[in-house]
Structure 1
Amino acid sequence: MTFYTQDNYHPANSVGFVLHKAHKRLVADMDAALKGLNVKSQHVGILISLLRRSQARSTTLSRQLGVNPGLMSRMLDSLEALGLLMRSRDRQDRRAVNVRLTDVGRATARRIRELTPEVLNARLHGFTEAEFVELRRLLYKLIEK
């Protein structure tokens, strides 16, 4: 089925525009909640992923989070500069870089894990459970190949 044509397409009414706007609002909400922690919403996935395991390779994080390796390196640089994580070369494969949280990084990631549901639930306020389930189903359907 064709949903858009040259005649009915208006950027401000497109699915892409609405998804982008929703994403920007979620990012703004998350960044506001994280302000006191000196991290940004783009760091949440890295820190939470590392909280769940003792260490991970930077390439694994990049793949898992859908971030290109160059951007991942820059984000890891900033988190390392903040003292939240450490990188080291893998002993079996010197080309690979292992990443792990510092004690400060672990405490920060735990606080993020507390804040994230609050931020998301505030944005989803007013949704019924059925609407939430349907929204997730439709978003996953949209990203399937």
Structure 2
Amino acid sequence: MTYFTLDDIMTGDYLSIGHLVHLLNQLKDRLLNKHLAPLDITSQQFKVMLLVYREKIQLCKNLSQALCIDAGATTRICDRLEKKGLLIRERDEHDRRQVQLKMTDKGLNLCQEFPQLIVNALNEFTQGLSEDEITTLMMLMTKLLKANGALPN
């Protein structure tokens, strides 16, 4: 099915679906940064912490892939988290090219605060929507992601 046309894109008052998704992502990160400020971490650092903590990502290379950022950006984020004492990096003893990520006790304790923070941020993010609208939004986003192979069917 084709929905969008070149005429849609060429009109000056048209907001593309891509632009709307981008604006929502920016809003989400701004809200996350606001909720994370008392913990002294950014939304990007939060994402790294969650991937290491929840998804058990242990290699910097895999972290870069999961976040869709280059190795340099991953290194800078990990540098900051390491300076804060939240995680450590160690060279793999079998392959020195691989860098292992490990959560510190301080990092693990910080991650215990994330669930309530996520609840608060998501409630602020979805304010103005009814429960049915939130359910529909989530269903549509999931459907798009599955149709494009970004989520398993």
How far off its partner does 1:46 sit? 1.2
Q: CA RMSD in A?
A: 2.4
Q: Which residues in structure 2 correspond to 1:77-116 (within 5 Å)?
A: 77-116=79-118
When the two structures are aligned, how many residues end up with a matched partner? 145
| Maintained 8 Å contact 1:11/1:17 | no
Comparing 101-110 and 85-94, the one that deviates more = 101-110
Question: What is the TM-score with the length of structure 1 in the denominator?
Answer: 0.84
Whole-angstrom CA distance in 2 between matches of 1:123 and 1:37: 19
Q: Report percent identity of matched pairs.
A: 28
Whole-angstrom CA distance in 1 between matches of 2:54 and 2:20: 32
Runs (5+) with no aligned partner, structure 2: none
Match of 1:48? Answer: 50
Which residue of 12, 23, 26 corresponds with 1:24?
A: 26
Match of 1:144? Answer: 148
Structure 1 residues 53 and 92, CA gap change in structure 2 (3 angstroms): farther
Match of 1:125? Answer: 127
Whole-angstrom CA distance in 1 between matches of 2:71 and 2:124: 32
How far off its partner does 1:67 sit? 2.5
Whole-angstrom CA distance in 1 between matches of 2:128 and 2:7: 35
Matched residue type, 1:89: R
Runs of 4+ in 1 over 4 A off after TM superposition: none
